Amino acid sequence: MEDDRGNVIRIDSRSPEETRRIGKAIGRLARGGEVILLKGPLGAGKTTLVQGIARGLGIEGPVQSPSFVLERIHRGRLELRHLDLYRLSGEEALEAGLLSDIGDDQVTVIEWAERAEGLIDADLEVKIERTSEEENRSISIEAKNPAWKSFLLEVQKTC
C-alpha cells in the first residue's frame, strides 16, 4: 500500500525471514550517509530487520541487538553503524555523541528511535507492529528524504 504522498509503503511480513528480506532490500539500496530510524515495541523485529540490512550491505557476521554496548559497527560495502537507545534518554544519546558524526560511508540504524524523537534528521523511518498471528508483522517504511521515495518502490518490488 502507498499513501497519496507516495512516501510511505506498508509491507506485511509473515516470518523473521521475510523481515530480513525487507531489510536486505533496504541495505542493497543504501548509498552511504543514511540515517534509518526503527520504531516498535520489545520483540517487534527491529534487530531482525537490521540483520537483513547488514546482508544487503554485504556484511557476513552475526548482528545482535547492541542494547548493552549502545553501538556496534560492522564493516561491509559500507559501514553499518547499529545503535540501540533502549537504555537512554534522547538527551543522554545526544551527550554521548551517538546522534552526530554521521559518516558518508556509513549507514546508521537506530533501534528505539522513539527516544531520539526530533533530535536527528532521518532518511527512512521504519515502524514494526505485531498483528494477529504469532509471526505476523506490519512494517511501514516512510521516506523522510525525497531521494528515498523512488527507492521505496524498489523495496516493495523485492518483497
Ligand X SMILES: Nc1ncnc2c1ncn2[C@@H]1O[C@H](COP(=O)(O)OP(=O)(O)OP(=O)(O)O)[C@@H](O)[C@H]1O
Which residues of the shown chain bind ligand X in the complex (CB under 6 A)? 13, 15-16, 18-19, 40, 42-48, 65, 111, 135, 137
Please, what is the minimum distance in Å from the beta carbon of residue 126 to ligand X?
A: 11
Q: Does residue 24 bind Mg ion (CB under 5 A)?
A: no
In the shown chain, the binding pattern of residues 95 to 114 toward Mg ion, with x for contact by CB under 5 A and - for none, equals: ----------------x---
The C-alpha cell 499513501 sits at 3
Binding segment for Mg ion among 19-27, 30-38, 60-68, 135-143 (CB under 5 A)?
60-68
Helices (H), 57-148: 90-95
The one of ligand X, Mg ion, none whose footprint includes residue 137, by CB under 5 to 8 A per kind, is ligand X
Containing 141, the helix (H) or strand (E) segment is strand 137-143
- Asked if residue 123 lies in contact with residue 147, where contact means CB atoms within 8 angstroms, the answer is yes
Instruction: Go through 32-70 and write b for each residue having 16 or more CB atoms within 10 A of its CB, e for each that does not.
Output: eebbbbbbbeeebbbbbbbbbbbbbbebeeebebbeeeb
- Which residue number places its CB atom closest to ligand X? 45
Which residues, listed in sequence order, are joined to residue 55 by a DSSP beta bridge?
A: none
Please, what is the minimum distance in Å from the beta carbon of residue 82 to ligand X?
A: 11
Please, what is the minimum distance in Å from the beta carbon of residue 132 to ligand X?
A: 12
The one of Mg ion, ligand X, none whose footprint includes residue 48, by CB under 5 to 8 A per kind, is ligand X
